Structure formats: structure tokens, C-alpha cells
Amino acid sequence: MHCGQLLLTFLVLIFISTTEETCYLRDIITVVEGEPFYLKYCSLSPEHKNETATIKWFKCTESHGHVELSSSSSPRITLRDYVLEFWPIELNDNGTYVVQMGNHTNKWKLNVIKRSKHSCFAEKQVIGKRVGVKKSLRITCNNSFYKGLINRTSLYKNCEKIENNKKPFLHKNAEFEDQGYYTCMFFLYHNGKLFNVTETFNVTIEAEALPRT
């Protein structure tokens, strides 16, 4: 069977944030090789909560069609309840993933990109944040999915470490010099190995809008 057939029953869900852990509903996700990563089935209806046993995960590639994933597919893959975890994700994990539960499916395209040798973040992965000058600039490093595993978190500005503690945050009135790339780097242990997960904000400080006359 090919990916297309499997996806004929394709459901468009509107994600409502009711659960603590974040589930993705973006179709295409860019991930950097070497980082832990997860996909989570997004369910809106409570009756699905009981269908854990019937969850199936597939990876679709041009060459192999769709292949069911199991914890024995790769030592880097963990399946639990609604979540597919990668410890870590690597370039060859690039592709389309489908989760099937009963008649419902979620589909994602993972675009796994190379780690930059020269930068602590990937430009394709930054989250834009615009703040007016003198307005409150707030950057909080928290990660709801991995929070229980996080050992240490560092905050970098333009790849220079500015804070290193349990939960770094920045809160100030924005000045033009604050513009830059702010990277939260979460360090976590899994099976005795140290990993890091990054999240980068591209902060732009904007001049105050002229008052209307």
C-alpha cells in the first residue's frame, strides 16, 4: 500500500490546547538532526482516550511505501501511548509520518536538516518575535514536553551564553540593542545520555508607532 491510500481518510482537526503536552498539527515540521524530538497524536474527542491499544505509527517513503514503526524499528525510537519519540532524530528519519487510531489519522512531514557547524541554532527553525521599543520584552525558557527530564537550561543571545540556571528568563523593557537571536538550550538525560533541545526566537525591536494625528 502507498502513502496516498492510507491517507484517503484524512481528517482536518483544529487543535485546541487542552492537554499539558504540546501536540503538533503543522503539516511540515523542520527539525535539526541530533535533537530529541517527538510527534504526538492530537485527539479532540475523549472517547479516543481508551483506544491506546489500536494506535499505529507509520513512516512513508517513496522507496518503501509505508512501514509500520515499532520500538524495535530503531533503538532511537520509543512509542508510548499517543507519542512517537526520537532519541535523537537523525537525517535518515526525514519523511512523512502517519499515526492511525481507529479511523482517524494525523500526518506530518518531517524535514530533518543538518546541524549548523557555525551557529547554535538553525535559521529555518527560528520563531519570530516583534517587540516595540520600550515595551516589555519577555523570553521564558520552558519546555512543557520534556520538562521532567530537563537537568539544566541555558539562554544564549546570538550564541553567547547570557544565563544558565534552572529556568532562565529575560524580562526587561526593550531597547534596540536587544534585537537578536535568543536560544533556549535545554539539557536532558535519557538512558544515561545527555541530549539538548533548542528553541530560538528571532527578536526584532520595532520603533514606536507614530501617534495618529
Ligand X SMILES: *[C@@H]1O[C@H](CO)[C@@H](O)[C@H](O)[C@H]1NC(C)=O
**Binding residues for ligand X, per CB under 6 A?**
34, 50, 94-96, 103, 109, 111, 123, 126, 128, 140, 142, 144, 151, 196, 202, 204
Dump strand ranges (E) for the chain: 28-32, 37-40, 56-61, 65-68, 77-80, 83-86, 95-101, 104-113, 127-132, 136-140, 150-157, 160-165, 169-173, 180-190, 193-206
Please identify which residue in the block is written with the cell numbers 512513508.
Answer: 60
Please identify, using beta-carbon distances, which residue of 21 and 68 lies nearer to ligand X: 21
**Shortest CB 104 distance to ligand X, Å:** 8
Residue with the CB atom nearest ligand X in the bound state: 34
Q: How far apart are CA 15 and CA 209, in angstroms?
A: 34
Shortest Å distance, C-beta 54 to ligand X:
11
The residue among 126 and 162 lying less far from ligand X, judged by its C-beta, is 126
CB of 213: closest distance to ligand X in angstroms? 27
Contact by Cβ (8 Å): 127, 202: yes
Taking CA atoms, 29 is separated from 25, 102, 207, in Å, by 9, 24, 32
Q: Whose Cβ is closer to ligand X: residue 72's or residue 149's? A: 149
Measured from the CB atom, the residue of 8 and 14 that comes closer to ligand X is 8
Instruction: State the nearest-atom distance from the C-beta of 165 to ligand X, in Å.
Output: 10
